[in-house]
Amino acid sequence: MERTLIIVKPDAMQRGLAGEVIKRFEQRGLKIIGMKLLQISRDLAERHYAVHRERPFFGGLVDYITSAPVVVIALEGTDAVSAARMTIGATKPSAAAAGTIRGDYGLEIGRNLVHGSDSAENGEVEVANFFADSELCSAWPRSVDGWVFE
């Protein structure tokens, strides 16, 4: 089972789309093992996006992700990282496939609604950056699991 960190970004929050975003991961069968509302600090945002630190858009990206409360979600499931990224869609929403979150709700790269981890390794690291172990319900026996996981 992989883990991935999802962030319902400030634009999705401002537009009242948190429920819509969460619904899509739930209906995919991915298991919610952590979820909370928080306003990301600049320090945490800079750590989360450290790989982009030298890029020209870094300052704007940190301003954006810290601009309003977000919902952060830890998901677990088979191929959770790639499955969630397929549900999210391409980074640039105007080029994202219809049926994806970004393809259905977005146009611009700086307003792309949702974050999802990009590798299993980063999924573990990002979940740990946002959740203490005590905030994760990893082992809860979800009654549909036998119909989602073989």
Query: CB of 78: closest distance to Mg ion in angstroms?
Result: 21
Query: How far apart, in whole angstroms, are the C-alpha atoms of residue 32 and residue 68?
Result: 22
Residue 14 interacting partner from Mg ion, ligand DAT, none (CB closer than 5 to 8 Å by kind):
none
Query: CB of 109: closest distance to ligand DAT in angstroms?
Result: 5
Residue 140 interacting partner from ligand DAT, Mg ion, none (CB closer than 5 to 8 Å by kind):
none
Amino acid at position 65, single letter = I
Query: Could you give the residue numbers annotated as active site?
Result: 115
Bridge partner list, 76: 3, 31
Residue 112 interacting partner from ligand DAT, Mg ion, none (CB closer than 5 to 8 Å by kind):
ligand DAT
Query: How far apart, in whole angstroms, are the C-alpha atoms of residue 3 and residue 29?
Result: 13
For 39-148, strand residue ranges (E) read 70-77, 114-116
Query: How far apart, in whole angstroms, are the C-alpha atoms of residue 21 and residue 71?
Result: 10
Query: CB of 110: closest distance to ligand DAT in angstroms?
Result: 5
Binding residues for ligand DAT (CB under 6 A) = 52, 57, 61, 91, 109-110, 112, 115, 118
Question: 110: which 2 tokens?
Answer: 């700086």
Given the complex with Mg ion, which of 45 and 137 has the nearer CB atom? 45
Residues 76-135 that bind Mg ion (CB under 5 A): 118
Query: How far apart, in whole angstroms, are the C-alpha atoms of residue 49 and residue 113?
Result: 16
Question: In the complex, which residues of this chain contact Mg ion (CB under 5 A)?
Answer: 118
